[in-house]
């Protein structure tokens, strides 16, 4: 079984047969399929934990960092997105330690990961203005799941962190207005989470040339995190104040992003 079929890959990235093989090598499909095979006896939280063990990734986090997340206390978890797939695996494991009732907004290219589908609602981050009906349906599904007492985890950038020339450092781009509107609609307590780290300089260059090139690099960025330690910091849960709810979306996005990135300065 392949995580991403040839048809899905070709249709999603508009590839011809002559370039499909090259792209599959860039995506490290064979290595990813082997990693999946070794861990696929488990599902959900246990699958995420198995992949982290297989890659020897050490997650450094306080024991009580996610204590506020319980089956009776659903939250909107917002986090930066420094690595890509690794961020999702880490949060699935940490949230799954607290509750089974949580869902992720996830890239549609991950639909082939059957072992995690119970936690995913899929969207298309490469939709640059075409048919948005599938994304609208996904948002409606997320709102319904929140009403059913599921916590909702969102990477509000809708993209992996990259080098920002304006700030001369690697961080999330400005957060997606659609995600900020969704966070408002959810009306849940918000748990800010900061994940420390960044992808390789090869990724930064490829993503700087074109966003789709960066996307093609992400599987290798997961594989090259073998034997890494990743620090995760969760802040105190909070609710948006009436004044914040009334803010313009770009202003609210900056407020929420600052709550996440402010956690990087917490002492180790």
Q: What is the pLDDT of residues 179-232, one digit of tens each?
A: 999 999 999 999 999 999 999 999 999 999 988 888 889 999 999 999 999 999
Instruction: State residue 1's pLDDT score.
Output: 53
The Cα 61–Cα 76 span in angstroms is 19
Domain spanning 6-265, CATH architecture: 3-Layer(aba) Sandwich (3.40)
Instruction: State residue 267's pLDDT score.
Output: 80
* Contact call for residues 74 and 188 (beta carbons, < 8 A): yes
Instruction: State residue 17's pLDDT score.
Output: 66
| Confidence check: pLDDT of 130 > 50 | no
What is the tens place of the pLDDT at every residue in 31-79? 998 999 999 999 999 999 999 999 999 999 999 999 999 999 999 999 9
- What are the C-alpha distances in Å from 71 to residues 80, 97, 126, 141, 147? 24, 11, 33, 19, 13
Going from N- to C-terminal start, the domains of the chain cover 6-265
| Confidence check: pLDDT of 4 > 70 | no
- Other beta carbons within 10 angstroms of residue 162's beta carbon come to 23
Share of the chain above pLDDT 70, in %: 89
pTM listed for this prediction:
0.90
Q: Among 11-15, 72-76, 115-119, where is mean pLDDT lowest?
A: 11-15
């Amino acid at each position: 079984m392949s995580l991403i079929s040839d048809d899905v890959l070709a249709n999603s990235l508009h590839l011809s047969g002559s370039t499909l093989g090259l792209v599959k090598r860039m995506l490290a499909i064979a290595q990813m399929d082997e990693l999946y095979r070794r861990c696929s006896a488990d599902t959900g939280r246990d699958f995420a934990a198995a992949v982290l063990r297989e890659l020897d990734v050490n997650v450094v986090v306080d024991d009580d960092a996610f204590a506020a997340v319980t089956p009776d206390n659903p939250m909107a978890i917002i986090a930066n997105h420094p690595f890509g797939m690794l961020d999702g695996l880490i949060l699935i494991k940490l949230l799954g330690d607290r509750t089974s009732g949580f869902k992720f907004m996830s890239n549609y290219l991950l639909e082939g990961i059957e072992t995690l589908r119970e936690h995913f609602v899929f969207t298309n981050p490469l939709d640059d203005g075409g048919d948005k009906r599938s994304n609208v349906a996904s948002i409606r599904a997320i709102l319904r799941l929140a009403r059913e007492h599921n916590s909702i985890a969102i990477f509000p950038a809708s993209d992996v962190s990259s080098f920002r020339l304006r700030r001369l450092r690697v961080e999330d781009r400005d957060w997606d207005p659609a995600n900020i509107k969704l966070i408002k609609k959810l009306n849940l307590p918000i748990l800010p989470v900061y994940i420390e780290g960044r992808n390789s300089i090869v990724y930064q260059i490829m993503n700087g040339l074109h966003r789709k090139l960066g996307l093609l690099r992400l599987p290798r960025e997961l594989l090259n995190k073998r034997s890494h330690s990743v620090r995760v910091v969760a802040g105190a849960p909070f609710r948006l104040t009436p004044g914040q709810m009334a803010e313009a979306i770009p202003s609210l996005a900056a407020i929420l992003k600052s709550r996440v990135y402010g956690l990087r300065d917490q002492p180790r």
